[in-house]
Structure 1
Amino acid sequence: MRWDRFFDDLEDQLASEWEAERAALDTEAERLRLSRVVLAERLTQLAGGETPAACSFDLSDGTTLRAVVTGVGADWVALAPAEGAGAVIVPFASLLAIGLPHAELLRSARPVPARSPLADRLTFGFVLRDLVRRRAGVAVHLASGRVLTGTIDRAGADHLDLAVHEPGAPRRADEVSGYRLVPFASVAWIRADAAPALV
């Protein structure tokens, strides 16, 4: 009888050690998986779901936007602001912090299906070229805090040409008050009158 209890105790101890080792391996595997997660994947998770939660986005120009993620490209995120119409496009480099409920924070860290290779090719310049084609009015918010309104005439690899005019005015020669060449690096975010077709 005593030997039976002894072997039962040994068996329980081995099972407990095995479970502890397995839990440690699972924890280490999860840490390794999380170390490979990129911001685009987390934002993609926020865009998914039946009822995406509104988050607060702290941007490089000092603005805090309350918005829902509607699309994610290679280096930008599209937002539907809680206030106002249109769409907001923010380069990843302008995101300082994102405030969100704890449940959404955890959901955004879950494993995601593989992103489309096309999404990884949709750069900030690509989405701006869509706005050029659509002749959408924009407000370009610079990292300095200044706002330029008008229509994007051209979008290069790392800059855009902006015809400056009053918000809501059509892009006509007599409405344009000037032109600006704006490097992408100085753009904090862009509010477009109409959402790009890509989001």
Structure 2
Amino acid sequence: MRWDRFFDDLEDQLASEWEAERAALDTEAERLRLSRVALRDRLGRLVDRDRSTTTPSFELSDGTVLLAEVSGVGADWVALEPDHGRSGAVLVPFDSMMCVGMPHPDLLLSARPSPARSALADRLTLGFVLRDLVRRRTPVALHLYSGRHLTGTIDRAGADHLDLALHEPGSPRRADAVTGHRIVPFRAVSWIRLDGPALV
């Protein structure tokens, strides 16, 4: 009888050790998975979040804090829909985001494995989107790292910079309305508000 109990105890101990080892392996696998998660993947998970909860906040390099919902994610930028009271979609380069605040359930949701992204989304860089704004002649407000902002229409978008024709916000780009031109490196842009229809 004692031997039966002894073997039962050994089986329980072995099962316990096996479960502990498996839990440790699962934890290590999860750590490894999380080490490979990119910011764009986490932001992409917020596109379909439950919007009845607290709106995420985005603290940007120029000191602005935007309360906004994520509406799209590209290779190096995120499109936001500002919360009540603000008009126009917003484009934010990843490099200008200082931090993102959100409810804890959304934080956990954003860290879960995400569905496979399309190859096209991975190729949609900020430059690509800005060239589309050039084609559409969409008026914008560029908010710079320095805290300044410029309003106008993007005339050209190169590999790492854009040409902006300055004019009053809300007015179309006409030669007689243009008050100047600026070349702006992408690295100087904190965020962009679109005055026209949203892209995403």
Question: Can you give the 5+ residue segments of structure 2 that lack an aligned partner in the other structure?
Answer: none
Q: How does 1:95-134 map to 2 (within 5 A)?
A: 95-134=97-136
Q: Which of 153, 165, 168 is 1:166 aligned to?
A: 168
Partner deviation per Cα, 1:65-116 (whole Å, 9 max, x = no partner): 0000000000000000013111000000000000011000000000011111
Tell me, yes or no, if structure 1 residue 24 matches structure 2 residue 42: no
In 1, Cα distance between the equivalents of 2:81 and 2:162?
23
Q: How does 1:66-77 map to 2 (within 5 A)?
A: 66-77=67-78
In 2, Cα distance between the equivalents of 1:124 and 1:14?
55
Aligned to 1:43: 43
| 3-state secondary structure, aligned to 2:46 | helix
| 3-state secondary structure, aligned to 1:21 | helix
Over the residues paired in the alignment, what is the CA RMSD in angstroms?
1.2
In 1, Cα distance between the equivalents of 2:74 and 2:18?
44
Tell me, yes or no, if structure 1 residue 65 matches structure 2 residue 66: yes
Aligned-pair identity in percent equals 72
| 3-state secondary structure, aligned to 2:171 | coil
Partner deviation per Cα, 1:28-79 (whole Å, 9 max, x = no partner): 0000000000001001001124548621000000100000000000000000
The Cα of 1:195 is off from its aligned counterpart by 4.0
| 3-state secondary structure, aligned to 2:75 | coil
Q: Note closer, same or farther for the CA distance 1:168–1:161 as it changes in structure 2 (3 Å cut).
A: same
Partner deviation per Cα, 1:162-190 (whole Å, 9 max, x = no partner): 00001011100110000000000000000
Amino acid paired to 1:46? L
| 3-state secondary structure, aligned to 1:153 | strand
C-alpha contact (below 8 Å) 1:130/1:196 kept by paired residues? no
Aligned to 2:188: 186
C-alpha contact (below 8 Å) 2:88/2:195 kept by paired residues? yes
| TM-score normalised over the length of structure 1 | 0.96
Q: How does 1:84-95 map to 2 (within 5 A)?
A: 84-95=86-97
Aligned to 2:12: 12
Amino acid paired to 1:62? G
| 3-state secondary structure, aligned to 1:47 | coil
In 2, Cα distance between the equivalents of 1:143 and 1:119?
26
Amino acid paired to 1:71? G
C-alpha contact (below 8 Å) 1:131/1:196 kept by paired residues? no
Q: Which runs of 4+ in 1 moved over 6 A?
A: none
In 2, Cα distance between the equivalents of 1:20 and 1:9?
16
In 2, Cα distance between the equivalents of 1:180 and 1:80?
27
C-alpha contact (below 8 Å) 2:49/2:106 kept by paired residues? no
Question: Can you give the 5+ residue segments of structure 1 that lack an aligned partner in the other structure?
Answer: none
Tell me, yes or no, if structure 1 residue 3 matches structure 2 residue 3: yes
